[in-house]
Amino acid sequence: MAVKLLAADASTLNSTFNVNAYVPDGKLLESFNGPNNWIGHVTSNSKGVRLIFWEDPTGLVVVGKLLDSNGRDLNKLAEEHYDTNSIGLQVISKIQVSTEQLEAGADEATAARAGVYSELQALPEKNYTSTGDGDIEMFVFYDYECPYCKHLKEYLETDGHNVKSNWLPVAILNKNSPVFGAAVLDGQIPLAKMGQKGGDYPAPSLEAFEAVTHNTRLLKALQSRASTPTIVMKMANGEVKTLQGFSEQAPQTIQALIRDSQS
């Protein structure tokens, strides 16, 4: 049984939590149900940094990692749902939580990644554009006007990776995203022009639009707050891993993903 972290009625969950007692300039964004009747509170300070406070049934409030009896960090699951920065904080307390549900349950995010990857493998080729002819396969969700997606594509093309990349256009940045993404699938615009603006406004087919919509649904199944680029790869041990964004650390992480995907 999966661990559930669900948004709930603020009037029932937030009544006992005073965020300003812990973050003087903070505000409470959302609360959600955790295991063993614990409650997670997502907060934000004046600089926009988000973190999670955990409140136990007696009213004890802690910040840091919440661990189950197997040592799994429940904040990681909460991060995927609520886009928080709590993992980067110094751990003040580690609370051991032992429940049958947690000990027997599968991680919800892991299950989502596996399910999405299975669906990606079954997608018709009309839903993506492939580059490279390597032995290793990766799926990449991209938005046509996303500059970080362009940087990722350039990196994969110039760094000599033995990778076949399947590029799936999604619509998350603006109203032009579905139009230009669908136009790439239709062959009206080459994938190589990703990130470039200007030119004629395309008129892609309905089938291409539907493919972009389907791709976007898959991305949102991975992330409650979708971002691009997002890489999805299957490791040699069967685990499905993802990488969001393209930062200075991304090349090192991508190299590790490629290495771990080789049998």
pTM: 0.61
Q: For residue 200, what pLDDT band results from cuts at 50, 70 and 90?
A: confident
Q: Which value, to the nearest 10 degrees, does the dihedral of the CA atoms of residues 21, 23, 24, 27 take?
A: -100
- The angle, 0 to 180 degrees and rounded to 10, between the axes of the packed helices 177-186 and 206-222 is 120
CA–CA dist 128, 182 (Å, integer): 10
Domains located in the chain, CATH noted: 10-105 (no CATH), 110-261 (3.40.30.10)
Contact 100, 36 (CB under 8 A): no
Quick count: other Cβ atoms within 10 Å of Cβ 239?
A: 14
DSSP 42-93: EEE-TT--EEEEEE-TT--EEES-EEETT--BHHHHHHHHH---GGGSPP--
Encoding tokens for residue 50?
């988000």
In this prediction, residue 263 has a pLDDT band, given cuts at 50, 70 and 90, of low
203: left (phi over 0), alpha (psi -120 to 50) or beta: beta
β-sheet bridge partners, residue 41: 31, 53
Question: CB under 8 Å to 254, separation ≥6 — which residues?
Answer: 155, 156, 161, 231, 243
- Coil, helix or strand at residue 228: coil
pLDDT tens figures, 177-195 = 899 999 999 999 999 888 7
Give the mean pLDDT of 9-27: 64
Query: How much is the pLDDT for 108?
Result: 61
CB 39 within 8 A of CB 53: no
How high is the mean pLDDT of the chain? 75
CB neighbours of residue 106 within 10 Å? 11
- Length of the chain equals 263
CA–CA separation, 245 and 227 (whole Å):
7
Section 129-137 average pLDDT:
89
Q: Tell me the per-residue pLDDT of 135-161, one tens digit each, with 9 for 90 and over.
A: 889 999 999 988 899 999 989 888 677
Place of tokens 């004046």: 46
